[in-house]
Structure 1
């Protein structure tokens, strides 16, 4: 019997695995949260399947998304990334990732963890939406706009309301699986 998934997850095996095993599942590990923040910021203007296809290469190139290491990248490392065909070779996105890692570390210091910071926006409880169809799922929300504005004030880049909403879905703060999806039951 074939599993009934959210319609966006039927394009490729990578998307199916991501949907089935990760999307909408609450994440609390700061390294995982940083990875998702980077991946979502890299996705702007690209398809999610492109990001998933490059995920392992991105993971390797960005030192397993360790924000302490990424925050210390120098010009030599930036040139290495710009010359790596396996990553998103967008100079501004690379610079933003380094800057965002520095801001991420500041949030960890202030709140004890990025997990404490980000989950406080939802009172540490997943928002479980009840969408009948994927067409009802928004690309932004008041919550994503609020978080985006806060992050921007803190110096983060490439994290607008749409990117943040995608991050909230990916990190499981928001469960947007449609009601007919096997992940909803």
Structure 2
């Protein structure tokens, strides 16, 4: 072989070596781009799934919160009605006390009747309005009529004590009756 043949053979070997290496580089670049593309697709899919799950969880939390709020509002309305009924009974007790004072102290009876009307109005406001409206009304009344507010407070306190004693006395007497009937039944056995 001559030098010319040898250089041709070396050049052709180099050409063969550069072609496969170029192809390998291109294949690696293509594979890298494909992996990058697939990773991006997987990341987007994962993000979409995570967003969907987050939205589902948020919606479920909203539903639970809404149900809880509705339940609390319902319980508050029930308590509001119970409070209004208690206030109406208190107004009736104040009126009864006023009737007892009519002959001996008509001035006190008029004040008690006025207090009963105020308590009745408060019961209506509790039943129909908001607690904040009631507090604002009582505060305004106390500022305009401090003596009347104090008198109403005292009378309401007396009426409440009378009411509590009356209801406590009934429960104590009914307990005594139950105890005596149970002891009679044990003596009969």
Larger of the two Rg values belongs to structure? 2
TM normalised by structure 1 equals 0.28
Structure with bigger helix share is 2
TM normalised by structure 2 equals 0.28
Whose RCO is larger (CA < 8 A, sep 6+)? Answer: 1
